[in-house]
Amino acid sequence: MEADFVIVGAGSAGCAMAYRLGESGASVLVIEYGGTDAGPFIQMPAALSYPMNMSRYDWGYVAEPEPALNNRRLVCPRGKVIGGSSSINGMVYVRGHAMDFDHWAEQGADGWSYADVLPYFKRQESWHDGGHGGDPEWRGSDGPLHVTRGPRRNPLYHAFVEAGRQAGYEVTHDYNGEKQEGFGPMEQTVWNGRRWSAANAYLKPAMRRGNVDVVRGLATRVVLEEKRATGVEVIRKGRAEVIRARREVIIAASSINSPKLLMLSGIGSGAHLAEHGIEVVADRPGVGANLQDHLELYIQMASKQQITLYKHWNIFSKAVIGAQWLFTKKGLGASNQFESAAFIRSRPGVPYPDIQFHFLPIAVRYDGKAAAEGHGFQAHVGPMRSPSRGHLRLRSADPAEAPIIRFNYMSTDQDWEDFRTCIRLTREIFAQPAFEPYADFEIQPGDAVQSDDELDAFIAEHAESAFHPCGTCRMGRADDPDAVVDPEGRVIGVERLRVADSSIFPRITNGNLNAPSIMVGEKISDHVLGRDPLPRANVQPWIHSNWQTAQR
């Protein structure tokens, strides 16, 4: 088997690349270990807690014990299915802040400033904001990825935004447009009531053209001949075979599996590879380093009024919602229920938001377990730019074995200060007049938890991953010893091999990572095809005029 391009991983970036490379007329083979994304658990937006917890769809990675979090081992779900993590995620669509990408460029990712990447964000999306008409300067109207907003029928969604305004924060009509900072509606990758994953948006249309195909198998290593990638070795139906690439191999296997595959292929820290008896092809210590993630807490309030989604938290109601969705693609099943959001700054002197809120009109855990007893609502809150860095290592040279994932969460004083700030600012929002008709008492952390020490104990026991790992194949200049790929995604020290997924992020972006991961696939496909990048945007994002002296 051979093709012009071989892509490892049918996830967010891999699907986008398959679509764009196939569009050019090239033949593309996508290697994916996971199976079909058919079925209501993936396609029904409200069922989002199921696929993330199903071994059929998830690699099932678990991180090492976290010393700062009471030695808890946090799960690290990654999509093992067509569409990758875009088929099991929460469907929240956040580009990131303009200054995130300007920081990338400052760190050596030349050509990745916001002016450079905005045209690719526009190219990827078809934006529907419910009839208000998008701003063509900032949003795309004819891309493969449909981006919508939930109906926001529950009054709690509006109470959250109004409470933010009452507390003195900005209100924003579109956090993916000119102004991220503030409270407003949240966007989702849902279209006609279905999860609009990268598979639905990009891969399936690409396969209909006839020159893009998917091969089921486990990629075990990149085949390298004299430091040139010529193919990928895969295990299919129990047998090893090589799928050859006439032009290039592109690894888009996630921030966990991409560095793992590089290391298995002899690209990584020479000393670490030697420990496992792997011959060193390119000594790149940055492979597996620079691991970042977002942590979050659920601040939960009991509700005075029985208007929350808790009334549907029973088998009969779930069956009715499921049936309505199955036959009409409408109703509560057609939204991820994350329909209001906010991005705020933690303190004066921070130029752009470093705290994100997801608001949910039920008190429940992300994994669908332990619904709070009775009616309630919650804000997921967490800092966006933790200074903590972790790493990923091979457990052995066996490709079937999961890697060692060490996030090193909460390893700096800044992390603790930021999280305490998150809790106190959230409490202040829930204490605003807009919540007076609804907010009864605090379920979690609870009114008794007030001092720094009490808050720290709560954080250590309850902080959860937001499932945004990235950074493990960092992009930088070719002469940067810690960079893994150059600004065109080419693996430094090896020819005809690229990485294109969230592992190349120099630093984690503001918000959920699906949108920027797809953007990476869009942009690197142009580099692969040798095309001139899209013309730079000439727009100025909104920055708070008093950011140096005011927190809001």
- Residues annotated as part of the active site: 468
Whole-angstrom Cα distance, residue 141 to residue 160? 29
**Residue 300 forms beta bridges with which residues?**
378, 444
Widest pairwise Cα distance in the chain: 70
Place of tokens 């109004």: 162
Name every residue whose Cβ is closer than 8 Å to that of residue 298 and which is 6 or more positions away in sequence: 363, 365, 366, 378, 379, 380, 444, 462, 464
What span, in angstroms and rounded, lies between the C-alpha atoms of 232 and 248?
Answer: 10
Residue 81 in marked binding region:
yes
Per the annotation, does 117 bind a ligand?
no
DSSP states of 276-287:
TTPPPSEE-TTT
Q: Where are the alpha helices (DSSP H) in 252-372?
A: 254-264, 270-275, 315-328
Four-point Cα dihedral 140, 141, 143, 145, nearest 10: 90
Task: Tell me which amino acid residue 18 is.
Answer: A
Structure tokens at 490: 């080419």
CA distance 285 to 199: 33
302's tokens: 């009991």
> 521: Cβ–Cβ under 8 A, 6 or more apart, which residues?
12, 13, 14, 15, 16, 17, 20, 252, 500, 501
Of 526, 536, 532, give the one whose Cα is nearest residue 16: 526
Residues in the chain, total: 552
On whether the CB atoms of residues 30 and 212 are closer than 8 A, the answer is: yes
The 10 Å Cβ neighbour count of residue 549 is 8
Element (H, E) at 20: helix 12-23
Question: Does the annotation flag 287 for ligand binding?
Answer: no
Of 271, 202, 258, the closest CA to residue 232 belongs to: 258
Residue 15 has which token pair? 């699907």
Q: From CA 228, how far away is CA 243, in angstroms rounded?
A: 15
Q: Which residues are annotated as a binding site for FAD?
A: 81, 89-92
Q: Which residues are annotated as a binding site?
A: 81, 89-92
